[in-house]
Structure 1
Amino acid sequence: MDILERLLKGAHVSAADPGFEKVSAIIDKNSLLEQDLNCNRHTHAEQHQLLEKIMQQKIDPTTQVSLPFHTDFGPHIFLGKNCFINKNSMFVDLGGVYFGNHILVGPNVTFTSLNHTLDPTHRWDVNSASVHIEDNVWIGADVTILPGVTVGKNAVIGAGSVVTKDVKANTVVVGSPAHFLKAI
């Protein structure tokens, strides 16, 4: 199993792993594409094509991504249909960020699927844990979603929240760390 598959499966990967050369090559290529996407004028169709190149997959035409858009990797972002991602989103996606359908994402939202070890002698190693956003979720502005979190169907995450654990379906959570506010 190559490094990309291991990262999607929640692996601990040493910074010395030779597979990181493959990761670095993709990051280098996508950094240039991201810069082009965010800094140059493009039609909507051209923006969509650049996003597909960054993510290395088709994106449903009903999904919209507002610029600027940021990722530290790209190919491990999986978007559903009819999603709206507002300006200045950040995807730390080596561990996988999965969207269902009909997702609303406010501005300045960060999705993080990686963490580093606490042991300072191995601090550069990474632990991956995918993020899952189920159908009909609304994520407010300035939210951070941490590795391993699943946000259940129809949930709402209030602006400024830091989501450290799973969010149940049909609930509203707010705060840092995010906590249950009410059922929907």
Structure 2
Amino acid sequence: MDLEAFLDHLNSGRPVQGGGEAHLFMHGVSQQALRLTAEINSGYHQPEELRDLFSQLIGKPVDGSFAFFPPFYTDCGKNIHIGKNVFVNMGCKFQDQGGIFIGDGALIGHNVVLATLNHAKSPSDRASMIPAPIHIGKNVWIGANATILPGVTIGDGAIVAAGAVVAGDVPENTIVGGVPARVIRPLSEEELQ
């Protein structure tokens, strides 16, 4: 298996069988991610250096407008897709095997967790994983300590309150919060200006 076949498998939504070929390949990708995140998280780096290291981590260049503050953690990295003018704050953890797509202008707060894998429900198959992507729209703001679960789409302009656990899709231009997160209210016309 090569990286392209691995990503095709993940992006198809098919389960990753515990001990199977994709699972074993995932362990090698994880080692690369751990090496690069250790470098990102050790010492001070200029913003250009951080963008270069992040580009190596995800396997493609990020826009010059992308910024993030370490520490940053991921156990894959190769299925992260970042738009322009995106900011990721300190302490974030991206489990991106299922795919993480972050739209232009998104702001990701401190300690946000984006998790794209679930384990199989059957105890006899618990080592198997089911990937599902997270889509974060344009100009979304995700507050500190929020957790976004597999398969969630957050609509353009939405706000996810600090500490929320988001298990379902978020309509555009709304504020969601709580555990589990639910719509608190839509953004007002004044707030949308």
TM-score by length of 2: 0.92
Identity %: 35
Matches within 5 A, 1:56-75: 56-75=59-78
- Structure 1 position 123 matched with structure 2 position 152: no
Residue 100 (structure 1) aligned to one of 103, 117, 121: 103
Matches within 5 A, 1:1-184: 2-184=5-187
Separation (CA, whole Å) in 1 of partners of 2:5 and 2:88: 30
Tell me the CA shift for residue 25 of structure 1: 1.5
Separation (CA, whole Å) in 2 of partners of 1:128 and 1:26: 16
TM-score by length of 1: 0.96
1:72-127 superposed Cα distances (whole Å, 9 cap, x missing partner) = 11010100000011100100000000011000111010001100011111101000
Unaligned runs of 5+ in 1: none
Supply the AA of the counterpart residue of 1:173.
Answer: V
Separation (CA, whole Å) in 2 of partners of 1:60 and 1:2: 26
Separation (CA, whole Å) in 1 of partners of 2:31 and 2:44: 21
Unaligned runs of 5+ in 2: 188-193
Supply the AA of the counterpart residue of 2:125.
Answer: H
The total of aligned residue pairs comes to 184
1:153-177 superposed Cα distances (whole Å, 9 cap, x missing partner) = 1000111100000000111001000
Tell me the CA shift for residue 26 of structure 1: 1.6
CA RMSD of aligned residues (A): 1.1
Tell me the CA shift for residue 21 of structure 1: 2.9
SS in 2 for 1:2: helix
